Amino acid sequence: MQIQYQPMGQYQTNCYIVSIDGKDFIVDPGVGATQWVLSHVKNPVAILNTHGHFDHVWSNAELKEQLDIPIVINKEDSFMLQSDQFGIQVPKCTPDIKVSGDEEIEIDGVKLKFLHFPGHTPGCSVIDFGDFWCSGDFIFRGSIGRVDFPYSDPEAMRKSLERFKSLPYDKPVYPGHGEPTTIADEQRFVDYWLRAI
């Protein structure tokens, strides 16, 4: 298993390429991600979105057209791929696989799991590759996803954080922005964020 990542666009959104058994999964291809992705993948099999915000999905449509691979997202955020919530001409696309809640899927013989942690967006999810997470904008190194956007839900974020705090295991976390962290490191700050929301 190998992971590569590159911050993209004005918001420095991390785009990941996760390679498992010679198969490349593209996670959150944001603004301007297409050329970097095309130059770093060998056998792309899917585009995985942690949530539907434009800075994580901007290059979905272009990559799907060029690579002919499915787009996967939680069903609660699928509408964001087909609308322009912020009025900035996000290229629209149609998701091919809509996951629901915590759902394990299999793509080309590789199993991975979407874990639903709503709050930042209705469908905000962590992608669990087994050895590590891609956490999108749910949890960052020393921070959490904002809950003041359209469709954000502070109460849902509180419940998600409580669930995160109770996880009985640790593993590396690769967030949507910033540097990697771990579950255990971020669990230490959950009480602070629960008070802050």
pLDDT of the residue at 89: 84
pLDDT of the residue at 83: 81
pLDDT of the residue at 90: 87
φ/ψ of 186, rounded to 5, equals -80, -25
DSSP 127-189: EE-SS-EEEETTEETTEE--S-STT--HHHHHHHHHHHHT-----EEEESBS--EEHHHHHTT
Give Cβ neighbours of residue 195 (< 8 Å, ≥ 6 apart): none
**Structural domain harbouring 84:** 2-196
Q: Which residue blocks in 30-148 are alpha helix, DSSP H?
A: 34-40, 54-57, 60-67
pLDDT of the residue at 93: 95
**What is this structure's pTM?**
0.97
pLDDT of the residue at 77: 98
What are the structure tokens assigned to 30, written together? 């944001």
pLDDT of the residue at 85: 73
pLDDT of the residue at 84: 72
Q: How many domains does the chain divide into?
A: 1
pLDDT in tens, the chain (197 residues): 999 999 999 999 999 999 999 999 999 999 999 999 999 999 999 999 999 999 999 999 999 999 999 999 999 999 999 987 767 788 999 999 999 999 999 999 999 999 999 999 999 999 999 999 999 999 999 999 999 999 999 999 999 999 999 999 999 999 999 999 999 999 999 999 999 99
The CATH number covering residue 158 comes to 3.60.15.10
Q: Token pair 């705090």 is at which residue?
A: 165
Q: What is the DSSP letter of 87?
A: S
Question: d(Cα 96, Cα 71) in Å, to the nearest integer?
Answer: 5
pLDDT of the residue at 87: 73
Q: Are strands 172-175 and 181-182 parallel, antiparallel or unpaired?
A: antiparallel
pLDDT of the residue at 48: 98
